[in-house]
Structure 1
Amino acid sequence: MKLNALHVINAFVRLGGTGEAAQGLGISQSAVIKSLHQTEQELDLSLVATVQGRLTPTPEAIELTRLARPALGSLRRALHEADMIRVGMADRLRIATVPGLAHSILPPAIASARLALADSAAVEVVFDHVRDHLVADDVDLAISYGPMAIDGLLDVELRRSSLVCVLGQEHALANREALARADLDRQRLISYGPDGVSRSDSFQAALAQSGLADRIAITVRHTDTACHLAREGVGIAVVDGFVISSGLTEGLAIRPLAASPLVTAYAHHRDGAPLDRAARILLDRLAEAAA
């Protein structure tokens, strides 16, 4: 079976239909159906069922996709690397991070590292699934709310911050110097949702210890989204204090959450293999800023 056929099956299963798969792949629906039928004949498996006049994946197609997930991951990475080579970024510093830290501690560290490298380092930043990127060796360095605590990966503690509340200047609570847990009881809260991958997440742990984990009404992935929602009066954003350095809170009120547990930012890289010069300089800049 060709990789392209596996790519079609995966889109069919993931999106739930031939029309959706065609749209996702940017090809015609007839091409998707033809590829599926050819693969059925080649493998002697039933991949397509007709349910109420609609073509849907069979259990065999779903199981095949599950078993082929590693190969699909390799294919995606190969296609991505081909794109990077095409645009002249084969040799680059690859960083995985979570959006919250990408908006705060990472940009000044990248700027400082590029100055140290005479602005010669190409940089690629990818978001989320930090652990998966590290384990697959897709990135040189990662930053998260960790720790990962995984064999073969090193966790480097960078800095700590309490939780803060971000709200509009006109909000009734904006005149307080600090907000207590009880002040948030009848408020609509906005915060980061779990990424569904990390085994340990100091931000989610801080939310839970503050008694706020089950009080979040709106979950977001990006800090700017949380701040924009607070600016529009939708609610109060509960984020880490690293955001203060980002500039995203300009024009907003930032109030500490009283008795907040600490959130810890970590850097991660693979153990046993030395970091290249660009990654080492970036890690040094992150550590210097923490000090």
Structure 2
Amino acid sequence: MANVTIHSLKALAVFKTLFEVGSASGAARHLGITQSGVSRSLAQLEENLGIQLFLREKNRLVATPEARELYDEILRLMGNIEELRHSVLALKEFGTSRLRIAAIPGLSFGFVPRLVAALLEENRRFSVSLDMMASHEVQSAVESSHADIGFITLPATSPQLHAETLLTTQAICLLPERHPLAAQASVDVCDLADQHLVISNQPSLATNPLLELVAHHGVRIAGKTEANIGTITALVANEVGITAMNPITAHDQLGRHERVVVRPFTPAMTFGFGLVYRGEWKHSRVLAFLRDRGRELLADYRR
């Protein structure tokens, strides 16, 4: 269509109804206009497009293949218009209609999904994407604008990003329920001597805080199993070994595994989690929402 005007858009609406109803008289009744008005609108649309949309056969209209294709395009157009309407409503409420989140695995099994659910509870018209990646990859994604807001393990290493602390917490020890150490009120790093450890598969084992702590205290372990952090609790439940991890990740995974006991762990092994974002997001309403609701959720974890 060379020139799209209000009149041509109205003609498309008449055509859509005519295609669905199958007769000019039925379309007229549905639209509340005269039958001659329907016929006139169709004739103008065909002239404007330069194609025939219906064949007239014995006082009835038979849609052409071109009409079917135009109808499908109109349905797509209507879907886009509805999506645009939803986006405008989300813009009014949060200042954006789309949010791309990147988060470390340790917060992606429960905490960040709960935040996304809270955001969509406020406005179901929001479009959200969530990617799980290592902390340094989260920062790179936010730096390069492939993500808008990131959840990382502190400290932040990017000087280009704003960083805020959400939570600082200490590790807890997870053991199989039948393990001898489960009878103790707490577990010390020295108790890990000759034990098999389950640890997250870091890019470098030298950066694993539990292995660093064990080495620092001169504790010799029996062995180790490296695994994705999402499987560590399951490995402990199946008596592969012992681990010490942050309580947020543990809490999000323990509901699926009843054969795991939790004990305090000494000496303190500290974990910090935070938000990172670019400067233009500093005063964003959606950032404020995630920050405030995130701290509320973390208070629930502490309880």
Asked whether the 8 Å contact 2:115–2:293 carries over to 1, the reply is yes
Secondary structure in structure 2 of the residue aligned to 1:257: strand
Deviation at 1:114, TM superposition (A): 2.1
Q: What is residue 281 of structure 1 aligned with on the other side?
A: 289
Q: Is 1:121 the counterpart of 2:126 in the alignment? A: yes
Q: What is residue 48 of structure 1 aligned with on the other side?
A: none
- Aligned pairs, how many? 197
Structure 1, residues 1-58: CA drift from partner, whole Å, max 9, x if none? xxxxxxxxxxxxxxxxxxxxxxxxxxxxxxxxxxxxxxxxxxxxxxxxxxxxxxxxxx
How far apart, in 1, do the equivalents of 2:261 and 2:139 lie? 34
Secondary structure in structure 1 of the residue aligned to 2:115: helix
Deviation at 1:95, TM superposition (A): 1.0
Asked whether the 8 Å contact 1:94–1:123 carries over to 2, the reply is yes
Q: Is 1:259 the counterpart of 2:267 in the alignment? A: yes
Change (3 A) 1:272 1:92: closer
Q: Indicate the structure whose relative CO is greater, using CA pairs within 8 Å and at least 6 residues apart.
A: 1
How far apart, in 1, do the equivalents of 2:106 and 2:203 lie? 12
Q: What is residue 32 of structure 1 aligned with on the other side?
A: none
How far apart, in 2, do the equivalents of 1:261 and 1:158 lie? 17
Identical residues among aligned pairs (%): 21
TM-score, normalised to structure 1, is: 0.59
Change (3 A) 1:238 1:261: closer
How far apart, in 1, do the equivalents of 2:214 and 2:272 lie? 15
Q: What is residue 169 of structure 2 aligned with on the other side?
A: 161
Unaligned runs of 5+ in 1: 1-84
How far apart, in 1, do the equivalents of 2:252 and 2:143 lie? 29
Change (3 A) 1:275 1:97: farther
* AA of the residue aligned to 2:113: P
Q: Is 1:219 the counterpart of 2:226 in the alignment? A: yes
Q: Is 1:138 the counterpart of 2:146 in the alignment? A: yes
* AA of the residue aligned to 2:225: I
Which of 226, 232, 240 does residue 238 from structure 2 map onto?
Answer: 232
Secondary structure in structure 2 of the residue aligned to 1:159: strand
Secondary structure in structure 2 of the residue aligned to 1:144: strand
Which of 101, 107, 116 does residue 113 from structure 2 map onto?
Answer: 107
How far apart, in 1, do the equivalents of 2:273 and 2:159 lie? 19
Matches within 5 A, 1:178-257: 178-195=186-203, 204-205=208-209, 208-209=212-213, 211=215, 217-223=224-230, 225-249=231-255, 250-251=257-258, 252-257=260-265
Asked whether the 8 Å contact 1:206–1:260 carries over to 2, the reply is no
How far apart, in 2, do the equivalents of 1:174 and 1:102 lie? 28
Which of 83, 92, 101 does residue 95 from structure 1 map onto?
Answer: 101
* AA of the residue aligned to 1:156: E
Secondary structure in structure 2 of the residue aligned to 1:149: coil
Asked whether the 8 Å contact 1:240–1:263 carries over to 2, the reply is yes
Deviation at 1:217, TM superposition (A): 1.5
Secondary structure in structure 2 of the residue aligned to 1:96: strand
Asked whether the 8 Å contact 1:159–1:266 carries over to 2, the reply is yes
How far apart, in 1, do the equivalents of 2:139 and 2:161 lie? 9
* AA of the residue aligned to 1:222: I
Secondary structure in structure 2 of the residue aligned to 1:226: helix
Asked whether the 8 Å contact 2:142–2:150 carries over to 1, the reply is yes
* AA of the residue aligned to 1:226: I
Q: What is residue 68 of structure 2 aligned with on the other side?
A: none
* AA of the residue aligned to 1:92: R
* AA of the residue aligned to 1:170: R
Change (3 A) 1:138 1:275: farther
Q: Tell which structure's C-alpha radius of gyration is larger.
A: 2
Deviation at 1:232, TM superposition (A): 1.0
Change (3 A) 1:155 1:209: farther
Structure 1, residues 196-250: CA drift from partner, whole Å, max 9, x if none? 6xxxx8xx45763464799672222333x00111111111122111134315354
Structure 1, residues 59-106: CA drift from partner, whole Å, max 9, x if none? xxxxxxxxxxxxxxxxxxxxxxxxxx9xx8995321111111112432
Secondary structure in structure 1 of the residue aligned to 2:288: helix
